[in-house]
Structure 1
Amino acid sequence: MRLKVLLTTVFAVVALVLSACSGSGGGSGSAEDYPSQDLDWTIAFGPGGGNDMMARKLVQIIQDEKLYPANISVKNREGGSGATGWGYLMSKAGDPYNISTTSGSFLTTPLQSDPGWTYKDFTHVGLMATDDALLLVDGKSNIKTFEDWVSFAKGKGKVVVGGIGTVNVDFILQSLIAEHAGYEIEYVPYNEEGQVQTSLLSGALDAMVSNPGSILGQVEAKEMTPLLFTGKERLAALPDIPTGAEKGMADLPSMPRGLILPPEVPDYARDWWIKTMQQVVKSDQWTQYLEQNYLTKDELWGDDFTAYLEKTTAEFETTLKEQGAL
């Protein structure tokens, strides 16, 4: 009888040890050995846009500074205004070897539909910057100023405009600008920057919005004409382009550029990434990236980032309801 009890106890202990060792895939480990595995970095949009550019720059800095000890695999998982990519990250709950960057769609996509997640589900690492936008038309157009654009838009009755995401910051900007200037829009959403640019240059769109870092090359090549900048101050690279505030549109929203982990990852993983990203944003490479791509430095970490997401989501929801999008 004693032997039977002893064997039962031994088998139970062995089972617990094996269970602990097997863990839940990539999510197993401890604070002492994290990180020690390859990292899967999801970009929730296609190549060429602001989210893609920032994610790849962050990975480059992390690798150049030797801050991560294993391989980092970067993959674009675009679709559904970010729903596909962040849905993939959601499916990796508890696994600290998956990560993704955020944009406005991270907040607005769940407001419009039910992708199975909201910003609340994820582990929030930090906000690192915000990204403003340019309103642009085809460079071959006779429209050269914002006033030209407003006259054209009012004369056409309804203009066709585009941007990234269905009810993303791009949609909010197009709607707010149109409402203020007194014209109507038909908004066309895209999953990646290249699609928007092609549509504008082919005549399928009358105007588009894009982040300066994604579009300045086309502006310099005279392929596109910028009409308005949504930031608080004029761009140094485009000193003749007025801001929204100059045209009576204060507090136009910016694109939040942050970093998130899957739900339910260990606290030590979030803490490691906060500490690591605080090193990244102090690097010369990151400073140069912000300057070259005209992003605004804006840093919030952990719980402060969570509070920012909550406040910004509420603001976006109010605006989208006012615009009839929700």
Structure 2
Amino acid sequence: MRLIPSFSIRGLLGRTALAGAAIACAPAALAEPPRPECVAPAQPGGGFDLTCRLAQTSLKASGALQAPLRIVYMPGGIGAVAYNNIVAQRPAEAGTIVAFSGGSLLNLAQGKFGRYNVDDVRWLAAVGTDYGVAVVREDSPYKDLPSLMSALKQDPTKIVLGAGGSVGSQDWMKAALTAQAAGVDFKKMRFVAFEGGGEAITALRGGHIQAYMGDAAEAMQMLEGGAPIRVLAVYNKERLPGRLADVPTAAEQGYDIEWPIIRGYYVGPKVSDADYQWWVEAFKKTMADPGFAKLQAQQGLFPFNLVGDELDAYVKQRVQEYAKQADAFGLIKK
């Protein structure tokens, strides 16, 4: 039998002890949050819905989330009901993410979410940006933005504008900015508020409104589904690629207006740092996946990817900017 020298045994024991100490000191892998769900704060078919569907497909495709992500609809107040529900009743639910948009931030800037403000949730991830559009029915007499604005200027009572959200919402702001640029008093607009983009498009197709100031992603989804609509303008500094490539910008038609719409998610204020960091890493992994850009484009979104602290800083800056803009329209009570 071959004997092992005693110094070799001591060396082996020493290396084993060091290895055990290293394992003991290594950070534990973060556990996947239980019962993952995405809350869409509106009825199915609008922008919040597509934001949750993007999370559902992309997190699964990248392997970042193993359990199925279910979508829960919580309409009310264009995001206010969901915001209040998460902050007040479900602040520590690790598995729940909530969709938000630039419209949510605009409402926060105007104090429309009740006693809660931008600091009352944890901003998680932005997964793309959308842009405003002006939409009419396919058989509408209005072929471009100037013809629609001309009719509005001639008789504001004959043009009913619809939008997802009430006075002061992002859709209302797009309509008001366009009317103002056309020389129309925005206070004379006939405006019908809907709970979300899906309801507004239904009203447009039914002839209950003449135009819808919506979002490019929603419009693209409708066009892909064969909806009889016409997009008159996109509110971006340049034309959008893909299905809307032939649609001129508002600026090309004499209205120098841009309206980007960020889309993303937040979690409750008492979600632990570990669980919050798990979601941050999950979205980082997902955004780095080669297939993410394609899934993003399928939802009509354009690249704008931020997570964690970077998103938090961006959101708070945008809320300040929206507050100034809303104040200029007299939307913030003094």
Q: Does structure 2 retain, via aligned residues, the 8 Å contact 1:42–1:89? A: no
1:160 is aligned to 160
Structure 1 residue 259 corresponds to structure 2 residue 265: yes
Percent identical: 23
> Secondary structure of 2:244's partner?
coil
Q: Does structure 1 retain, via aligned residues, the 8 Å contact 2:54–2:299? A: no
What is the TM-score with the length of structure 1 in the denominator? Answer: 0.83
Structure 1 residue 238 corresponds to structure 2 residue 235: no
AA at the equivalent of 1:35: E
CA distance in 2, matches of 1:261, 1:242: 37
> After alignment, is 311-320 or 182-191 more displaced?
182-191
Deviation digits for residues 209-263 of structure 1 (CA, Å, limit 9, x no counterpart): 2222322354474722211101222123233322123245445221111121100
In structure 2, runs of 5+ residues without a counterpart are 1-26
Q: Report how far residue 131 of structure 1 moved.
A: 0.7
What is the TM-score with the length of structure 2 in the denominator? Answer: 0.81
In structure 1, runs of 5+ residues without a counterpart are 1-29
Q: Does structure 2 retain, via aligned residues, the 8 Å contact 1:106–1:119? A: no
Q: Does structure 2 retain, via aligned residues, the 8 Å contact 1:36–1:69? A: no
Corresponding residue pairs, total: 297
Q: Does structure 2 retain, via aligned residues, the 8 Å contact 1:134–1:228? A: yes
Q: Report how far residue 114 of structure 1 moved.
A: 4.4
CA distance in 2, matches of 1:308, 1:187: 31
CA distance in 2, matches of 1:168, 1:116: 18
* Superposed counterparts of 1:1-326, under 5 Å: 32=29, 34-90=31-87, 91-110=89-108, 111-158=110-157, 159-166=159-166, 167-183=168-184, 184=186, 185-216=189-220, 218-219=222-223, 221=226, 223-236=228-241, 237-250=243-256, 252-326=258-332
Q: Report how far residue 36 of structure 1 moved.
A: 4.8
CA distance in 2, matches of 1:67, 1:50: 23
Q: Does structure 1 retain, via aligned residues, the 8 Å contact 2:80–2:112? A: no
> After alignment, is 260-269 or 205-214 more displaced?
205-214
CA distance in 2, matches of 1:209, 1:249: 14
Indicate how the Cα distance of structure 1 residues 144 and 312 shifts in structure 2: closer, same or farther if over 3 A, else same: same
RMSD: 2.3
**Which structure would you say has the larger Rg?**
2
Q: Report how far residue 40 of structure 1 moved.
A: 3.0
> Secondary structure of 1:102's partner?
strand
> Secondary structure of 1:269's partner?
helix
Q: Does structure 1 retain, via aligned residues, the 8 Å contact 2:124–2:264? A: yes
2:23 is aligned to none
Q: Does structure 1 retain, via aligned residues, the 8 Å contact 2:30–2:278? A: no
Deviation digits for residues 93-117 of structure 1 (CA, Å, limit 9, x no counterpart): 1232221121123223332434332
Q: Does structure 2 retain, via aligned residues, the 8 Å contact 1:219–1:226? A: no
In the TM superposition, structure 1's runs of 4+ consecutive aligned residues that sit over 6 Å from their partners are: none
Q: Does structure 2 retain, via aligned residues, the 8 Å contact 1:107–1:118? A: no
Q: Does structure 1 retain, via aligned residues, the 8 Å contact 2:50–2:299? A: no
